[in-house]
Structure 1
Amino acid sequence: MGHIPQPPTATEPRGGRRRPGAQALLTLLLTLLTVTTLTAAAHAGRIPAPPPAKLPTLTPATLRSAYAANRADAAEAARRAAAHGDPHRAAADRALAGPSRTLLAYDGRGGGRVTEVLGDLPHADRVAVLVPGSDTSLDTYARFHRTAAALHDELRHRALPGTRTAVVAWLGYDTPATFGTTVTTTARADQAAPGLRALMAELRTLTPARARLTLLCHSYGSVVCGRTAPGLDVDDIALIGSPGTGADSAAALHTRARVWAARGSEDWVAHVPHVRAGLGLTTVGFGTDPVSRAFGARVFDAGGTGHSGYFTPGSVSLANLARITLGATTEVTHA
């Protein structure tokens, strides 16, 4: 999620019955968000790009050829976007086609999808997978890449000698617009979950048997992780700046992973009502606040960060996310 209007907090009394104001508030919010059409998504859908490259079965031995094929695909997408008169998309594609980029997956069509690796994946002992929130696309991918790079630098700085790390930046789903109806429901998260589940299974085949896998889920990305979590083979899940997961508690995620949560003191998402309400065939809202005692996650310190600042170099939140990824859980500072 990005910036959305901050309505007053609605509460849910004991017994599960919502105050009338909660559903009315969510109905109003949904109506307001409906006014904003998905103009940007429609524009992105008109940008020409080739279909994804045909890749060999991914194994440690075929990664180099997969990376090369995806870079070539991005280069062709850049040429088509430039010819189409979209220099911004062309520049984004051109950057991804650079010789140093290691793309596990790439699809330049529509809003675009990218899975990028930072680090030596086949030899990594600790792997973090970043799941972004709303308004993340090829057009804004540079921002997401900076986030992944900041975490990778932090991991290398904090890792014990001999420990190898990698970060996987997963833009593997059509993220909702911050101003739109889809950001208030789990629909996009439900569509994203199979892809994230497939990626995590794939990473188990591409990394050493001893590797620890951690999901770091920001904002609406935490809804995606919540829908993916049941039975997932992952060691830790961290929910940051989360509006909720669609589950009532960490236990309801049905995962063997340790579940962490944090929210900075300047994060506006604290003002999003943590309720769910049925509106016809749709359920709006994501339920229990992940940093609340009722949810039952391990709450860690994110300092005074705002909604977009969890991966800021030098921040307490970035340090704690690196500690969680590295398995140094006794060093994590708590709120």
Structure 2
Amino acid sequence: MGLSIGRMPPARPLQDDDLFEIVQGGSNHKFTGKQLRQAIVAMERIKTVAGVGPDESGDIPLNLGELAGGVRSVAGKKPDAKGDVPLAAADLGLAGLVKKVANKVPDAAGNVPLTTADLGLTGLVKKVAGKVPDAAGNVPLTAADLGLAGLVRKVANKVPDAAGNVPLTAADLGLTGLVKKVAGKVPDVAGNVPLTAADLGLAATEATAWTNATIISSVVLKSGGQGGATDPSNTLHAPPARFRRVGRQLQVDGCIYCVAPIRSPTLAFKLPAGFIPKWGCHVSVAYTLPLTSQVGTAVIQVETSGNVSLPDYVPHKANLYINFSIELD
């Protein structure tokens, strides 16, 4: 029987999804085509590190002992097992640069804790007005300490109080008595002069002389008392109607006798310029009938034209007594 050997399959490029199993040291290791290609490339690129070559996975296991010697020492100190070199300020020559501040040496961290006393800031002011500074360096002072109290000895014969104030009155300053009298009145203890309108002459204005009214409607009216007579010796008679001005006030009085009964508005007399009020008004007046002793009232109208008239009914033979005052403005 003959032995037939077939032909080997032709070689082909390594594919990423090819699978391989390698037995090494009793362990099975599986790789893909991609992983195998990466391992081959890594093994060709890195041969050894510190005399150690890559293992099957391409890693190079190293320990710190194999790396020691890169840094030999820093400030006379060698690296520890981790490669670190722990240093202190003294190792770098930083300690000892400042020996003392205000006679104090630096602490382990190189700091020099100081107080104001260490820097000589307290004690710069020994005394102010005989007082020494307190622990904080302050000097509490009063006006007396600075010599301000007592600068004013007296004002108007009064001495300052404990606070240095001099309480004064108008009398202390001589302000009272400067005005001796106002309208015949002397100042009171406070220096005031209480005055009234009369004191200033405002209430006692000069009055004009009386002027007898000229009766206009003489057919029905007569100036004076009963029958028009004005004989003062006869008590039945009254003075004639008259008027005057007192300051800004119009005064009217006297009597008008009604010769005939008044049944419609009748003009009695007319006021001249300077005696005419700014506003018209109506004034109620009394009348009497001497023969019968009848008493009644009537109205007199004063107009801004100066007319003084009787708008109401007044009986025959009545004495109309007019006595009123009105403001001119």
Which TM class, normalised by the smaller chain length? under 0.3
* TM-score, structure 2 normalization: 0.17
Greater strand content = 2
Select the structure that is richer in helix: 1
Provide the TM-score with structure 1 as the length reference.
Answer: 0.17
* Bigger Rg over Cα: 2
